[in-house]
Amino acid sequence: MISVTRLLRYPIKSCRGEFLNNAEITDTGLKHDRNWALFDTTGQAITGRQNAQMLDIKVQITDETATIVLDKTPQISFSIENQYSKPQSAKIFSYDVTGYEVSRDIDQWFSEYLQKEVKMLFASDLNRPVLPKHGGKEKDLVSFADQAPILLLSEASVKDLNSRLGSPITFHRFRPNIVIKGCFPYAEDEWKEIKIGECHFEVIQKCERCIFTTIDPKSKLKDPNKEPLKTLSSYRKKHNGGVDFGVHLVPRKLGHIRLDDRIELS
Per-residue pLDDT tens for 45-104? 999 999 999 999 999 998 889 999 999 999 999 999 866 678 899 999 988 899 999 999
Share above pLDDT 90 across residues of the chain, in percent, rounded to a whole number? 90
Distances (CA, A) of 40 to 90, 101, 114, 175: 9, 13, 11, 23
Which DSSP category does 51 fall into? Answer: -
Backbone angles phi, psi at 44, to 5 degrees: -90, 140
Amino acid letter, 131: L
DSSP code for 200? E
How far is residue 40's CA from residue 18's CA, in Å, rounded to a whole number?
Answer: 24
Tell me the pLDDT band of 239, cut-offs 50, 70 and 90: confident
What pLDDT does 241 receive? 86
Give the residue extent of every domain in the chain: 3-265
Model pLDDT for residues 160-190, shown as the tens digit of each residue: 999 999 999 999 999 999 999 999 999 999 9
| Chain centroid, CA 76 distance in Å | 23
Q: What is the mean pLDDT of the chain?
A: 95
Closest CA to 97 of 31, 25, 44, 133: 44
